[in-house]
Amino acid sequence: MRTAVITFPASNCDRDAAVALRKVTGIKPVMVWHRDTELPKDIEFVIIPGGFSYGDYLRCGAMASRSPIVADLVKKAKKGLAIAGFCNGFQVLTEAGLLPGALMRNKGLKFVCRPEKLEIINNTSRYTAKYNDQSEVVYPVAHHDGNYYADKETLNKIEGQGQVIFRYKDNPNGSVNDIAGICNEGGNVFGMMPHPERAIDPMHGGTDGIKLFKSIIESI
């Protein structure tokens, strides 16, 4: 299968995402530049990686969400393309309107960088189906603006429809309802602040992230 990773100016986790995809699929993903206007043909899964796109000027992810390639992502997401955004990628997805809510400055106003224990809230999603025998994972976090917020109506909707996929066990940023990761109504677009792509090698501290990638790849 063909996968892709989008690279923006100041992306710094695009290689991590590419390594994770190659480890799971055995095939090198296509690296797509943010100024490209269309994804290559036959792409079935896209990752928007972490980093500091455009230096985090304005709101994090705001400028990247206006990049030419994102317009094509939005169009293809509506047709069911599987898209995941991690850290800055999650911020881009909310700014582009592909996921509800917003990511604000951490409650403690400090950058947090540490392994974080997460509770799997929905293990029937396309991104978590392989975790059927597991209720918790440990992924690293590294962000300054990871405080997830949504209004009460939106929260009730995503909670009621099973769109909340992960929660923090020890909330590092003040996110409402301890939310760490969510998907859209269709289940094809997923975003989270923690980094599953940095949890695929025992030499880096753990391999809990592998099942997330296997889940979505097998679902496709």
Question: Catalytic annotation on 113?
Answer: no
**87 given a catalytic annotation:** yes
Give the pairing type, strands 189-192 and 82-86. Answer: parallel
| Contact between residue 164 and residue 179 where contact means Cβ atoms under 8 Å apart | yes
Report in angstroms the alpha-carbon separations of 44 from 17, 38, 95, 130.
15, 13, 22, 19
What sign results for the dihedral spanned by CA atoms 76, 162, 122, 146? positive
Q: Are 101 and 154 within 8 A, CB to CB?
A: yes
Which residue among 13, 60, 87, 183 is the active-site one?
Answer: 87
**SS3 of the chain: helix, strand, coil, percent, to 5:** 30, 30, 40
Catalytic residue status for 197:
yes
Q: What residues contact 57, with CB distance under 8 A and at least 6 apart?
A: 63
Catalytic residue among 116, 143, 183, 195: 195
Q: Distance (Å, rounded) from C-alpha 180 to C-alpha 191? A: 9
Nearest Cα to 182, choosing from 64, 70, 98, 80?
Answer: 98
Q: Which residues are catalytic?
A: 87, 195, 197
